[in-house]
Structure 1
Amino acid sequence: MILVIGGTGTTGRLVAAKLAAAGRQARVASRRASAEGVRFDWYDRGTHDTALDGATGLYLIAPLGDADPASTMLPFLDLARRAGVRRAVLLSSSAIDAGTPGLGEVQAQLGEMITDLLGRPVRHRAVDEDALTAYHEAHGLAPDYARFLAGLDTAVAAGSEDRVTTTVADVTGRPARTFRDFCRDRLAGAPCAADA
């Protein structure tokens, strides 16, 4: 059985659905237990054993809002290993090198692409790292995590993501699609400016 942490979230629910469609047993774990899953909270170790019971694989997202999640995640991963988990997949970013943070120009390009596909304006408004940190803090993020996220934008703007890899094909067995193709598929039927 595969434990999907964050299983009701954006990526976790998709992973759980794909596993179910492939005939694989998945346990959805989230901060609020649902009919299909169990309660799991990174900061409540009392939820870990129940979530891990019978799991042989994990899909993980880091604790939200934690700039340095290792102190929370590593003890859990050790517990998971002792409980019989043999494989773990972590949702992460290639913008995050060991010990360093890293998003900005990419967002502007994505805004232009979505504008083109929808036929109505979607704009990216660039802000500097200090302003973005302040924005995140004003919306409830801890100062160190706010600075970390803003630093990711700065790193991407400086070119940290300027590369092509074979990861998608290696993992899925299918070639990667462009973001434009992804949006075209996902935004099919979305109201365009001409429809308004």
Structure 2
Amino acid sequence: MNDRILVIGGKGTTGRRVVKRLDATGAEVTIGTRRPINPQDRFFDWADPASLAAFDGCSAVYVVAPTDRTDHLDVMRPLLEGAMERQVRRFVLLSSSLLERDGPMMGEVHAWLAGNAPEWAVLRPSWFMQNFSDGPHARTIRDEDAIYSATGSARVGFIDADDIAASAVACLTSREPLNDDMILTGPEALSYEDTTGILSEVTGQTIRHVALSGSELAERFEAQGLPPEYARILAGLDEAIRTGVEDRSTDCVARLTGKTPESFREFAERPSDRWRS
């Protein structure tokens, strides 16, 4: 596939990495963003029908759902249908390892693409390693030497966003469509106690894991400004992890990219001052 590829959320955690990798292949790339600045950018907002213009001339799209709501299919379906009318053939959706096909949020979009898109792939990564460096855990590591979760001692196959991006590019540019979903993980499953142990060794700080109940975690999310319903859903994902559903590692990254995904220790040992106060 050599036509233009639209990367929705092309300035976000995975999107900007997808753009960088596509640029390196020589592909023609357009970035879908709410704040277009550069010639490569096109305006894109799932809630605005004017976003349909972003799909013009594109044959494939990296699909990132809105993060400020839970009714994903309701808001995304009109633009996805419009994309198909504009001859977009391949859709690569970023979902989550905990969201099954026909499940809530991106699970509904997953099912709809599988039933309607000419070519599709759904990537279901486990929790991002970047949550520790750029996301919700980074501030508490810097300010409190702590990580908060409702996962108990359960383990997670944390994955580097670079490995997610590499997998997405493989799906966007392959000669044959995947037409399937894949659960993406790092090479091993770790508990938050394991991750704080590694981070303590690497940084020289003493970083602890604070185990909360689901309701306590939801209250923290609300205090950080998340809508109550969304806060409860996120806390519920931690409670699901507590049951052991994320205690796994897969070979899907290697199958898609031909390379072993990065370990959490390798991620933590990258030169950086991101965890310093």
Match of 1:74, SS? helix
Equivalent residue, structure 2, for 1:174? 259
The normalised TM-score by structure 1 is 0.86
Equivalent residue, structure 1, for 2:56? 53
Q: How far did residue 192 of structure 1 move?
A: 9.3
Equivalent residue, structure 2, for 1:21? 24
Q: How far did residue 109 of structure 1 move?
A: 2.8
| 8 Å Cα contact 1:4/1:29 also seen in 2 | yes
Equivalent residue, structure 2, for 1:41? 45
- Is 2:83 aligned against 1:80? yes
- Within-5 A mapping of 1:21-170: 21-35=24-38, 36-46=40-50, 48-98=51-101, 99=103, 104=151, 105=154, 106-170=191-255
Letter in 2 for 1:143: P
Letter in 2 for 1:33: P
User: In the comparison of the two structures, how many residue pairs are matched?
Assistant: 191
| 8 Å Cα contact 2:52/2:79 also seen in 1 | no
| 8 Å Cα contact 1:4/1:59 also seen in 2 | yes
| 8 Å Cα contact 1:119/1:192 also seen in 2 | no
| 8 Å Cα contact 1:7/1:28 also seen in 2 | yes
Q: 1:60 to 1:144 in 2, by over 3 A?
A: same
Match of 1:164, SS? coil
- Listed as ranges, the gaps of 5+ residues in structure 1 are none
Separation in structure 2 between the aligned mates of residue 145 and residue 94 of structure 1, nearest angstrom: 18
Q: 1:191 to 1:64 in 2, by over 3 A?
A: closer
Q: 1:80 to 1:190 in 2, by over 3 A?
A: same
Higher relative contact order (CA 8 A, sep 6+): 2
Q: How far did residue 136 of structure 1 move?
A: 1.7
| 8 Å Cα contact 1:3/1:51 also seen in 2 | yes
- Tell which deviates more after alignment, 135-144 or 103-112: 103-112
Separation in structure 1 between the aligned mates of residue 273 and residue 195 of structure 2, nearest angstrom: 17
Q: 1:134 to 1:190 in 2, by over 3 A?
A: closer
Match of 1:58, SS? strand
Higher strand share: 2
Letter in 1 for 2:34: R
Match of 1:124, SS? strand
| Identity between Structure 1 and Structure 2 (%) | 38
Cα deviation per residue 1:70-126 (whole Å; 9 max; x = unaligned)?
111222222212211111222222122242689734444322222222222333322
Q: 1:113 to 1:100 in 2, by over 3 A?
A: farther
Cα deviation per residue 1:29-72 (whole Å; 9 max; x = unaligned)?
111112130121111121x2221111111112110121231111
The normalised TM-score by structure 2 is 0.62
Equivalent residue, structure 1, for 2:271? 188
Q: RMSD across aligned C-alpha pairs, in angstroms? A: 2.5
- Listed as ranges, the gaps of 5+ residues in structure 2 are 106-125, 127-148, 155-190
Match of 1:120, SS? coil
Letter in 1 for 2:205: R
